[in-house]
């Protein structure tokens, strides 16, 4: 029997408020117990409305990120952090610059490290998460081909944090953010592995709009295998799929 839950909302806005409030409650609960809250965060267009609500909760309702650690799922490789398409820049613009999270508390895979240091970097990234007791909460979107983070089809359930060759379909989907030029989309990315994602205590995957409907159905109802990495979430003990009607 599947252990995941599904929750449907009238629209992505309502869904985002719900998820942002879950994150806020978790931060408050952990902080009340004198603990840090360790978040796994995602990029893409889907979570933007969550970050917007978290900023509102910070500005209007006193939600503090001082005792939050966060780890982003992925970053293109190579990628300069101040580049228009960098996920470092995305996270600063969408969330970090607008809340009180200390700069030393958030981590995003480094798109500037030399190729020979990537393996070492990825191992250290995982160790940092482990040293903090693992991810309390992982936010996920889903790629059109069923990827999570940048774990493309073919990724194993125990795959580690690593450099990944991006699928052609993923690069085509991203091209609009690179001025419509496929040749400008990096061919690789560093991604948190499936194993670390599945070790998160709680996972919430967001999917909005008709364009995600079929891949979502396959991830939720289809077989669990490497052709659709999001299907691995069926094996996780506490995953919620948040979906608009």
- Closest approach, Cβ 135 to ligand GLP, in A, equals 15
Residue placing its CB nearer to ligand GLP in the complex, 70 or 170: 170
SS3 state at 224: coil
Contact between 42 and ligand GLP per CB under 6 A:
yes
Number of neighbouring beta carbons within 10 Å of residue 9: 17
Contact between 46 and ligand GLP per CB under 6 A:
yes
Which range, of 24-32, 42-50, 156-164, 229-237, touches ligand GLP by CB under 6 A? 42-50
Residues of this chain, 134-163, that bind ligand GLP according to CB under 6 A: 141-143, 149-150
Contact between 74 and ligand GLP per CB under 6 A:
yes
Query: Helices (H), strands (E): how many in the chain?
Result: 7, 10
Task: Tell me which residue of 226, 234, 162 sits closest to 203, measured CA to CA.
Answer: 234
DSSP class of residue 204?
A: E
Which of 61, 152, 177, 195 does the annotation list as catalytic? Answer: 152
Residues of this chain, 175-234, that bind ligand GLP according to CB under 6 A: none
Output Rg (C-alpha) for the chain, integer angstroms: 17
Q: Is 210 a catalytic residue?
A: no
Nearest residue to the partner ligand GLP, using Cβ? 141
Task: Tell me which residue of 106, 126, 136, 133 sits closest to 200, measured CA to CA.
Answer: 136
- Closest approach, Cβ 175 to ligand GLP, in A, equals 12
Give helix 12-32 / helix 48-61 axis angle, nearest 10°: 50
Compute how many residues bind ligand GLP; rule: CB under 6 A: 13
Residue placing its CB nearer to ligand GLP in the complex, 63 or 138: 138
How many Å apart are CA 201 and CA 216, to the nearest integer? 21
Evaluate the CA torsion angle 210, 90, 233, 163 in order and state its sign: positive
Please identify every residue annotated as catalytic.
152
Interface ranges with ligand GLP (CB under 6 A):
42-46, 73-74, 141-143, 149-150, 170
């Amino acid at each position: 029997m599947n252990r995941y839950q599904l929750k449907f909302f009238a629209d992505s806005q309502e869904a985002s408020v719900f998820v942002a409030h879950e994150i806020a409650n978790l931060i408050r609960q952990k902080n009340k117990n004198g603990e840090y809250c360790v978040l796994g965060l995602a990029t893409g267009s889907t979570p933007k409305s969550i970050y917007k609500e978290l900023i509102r909760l910070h500005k209007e309702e006193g939600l503090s990120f001082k005792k939050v650690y966060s780890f982003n799922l992925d970053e293109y490789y190579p990628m300069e952090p101040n580049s228009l398409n960098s996920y470092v820049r995305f996270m600063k613009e969408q969330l970090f610059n607008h809340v009180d999270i200390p700069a030393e508390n958030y981590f995003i895979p480094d798109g500037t490290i030399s190729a020979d240091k990537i393996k070492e970097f990825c191992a250290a990234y995982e160790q940092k998460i482990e040293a903090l007791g693992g991810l309390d909460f992982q936010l996920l979107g889903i790629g059109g081909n069923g990827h999570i983070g940048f774990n493309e089809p073919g990724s194993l359930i125990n795959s580690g944090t690593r450099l990944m060759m991006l699928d052609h379909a993923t690069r085509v989907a991203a091209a609009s953010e690179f001025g419509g030029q496929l040749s400008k989309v990096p061919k690789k990315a560093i991604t948190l592995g499936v194993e670390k994602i599945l070790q998160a205590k709680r996972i919430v995957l967001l999917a909005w709009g008709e364009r995600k409907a079929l891949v979502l159905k396959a991830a939720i109802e289809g077989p669990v295998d490497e052709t659709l990495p999001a299907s691995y979430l069926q094996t996780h003990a506490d995953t919620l799929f948040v979906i608009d009607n």
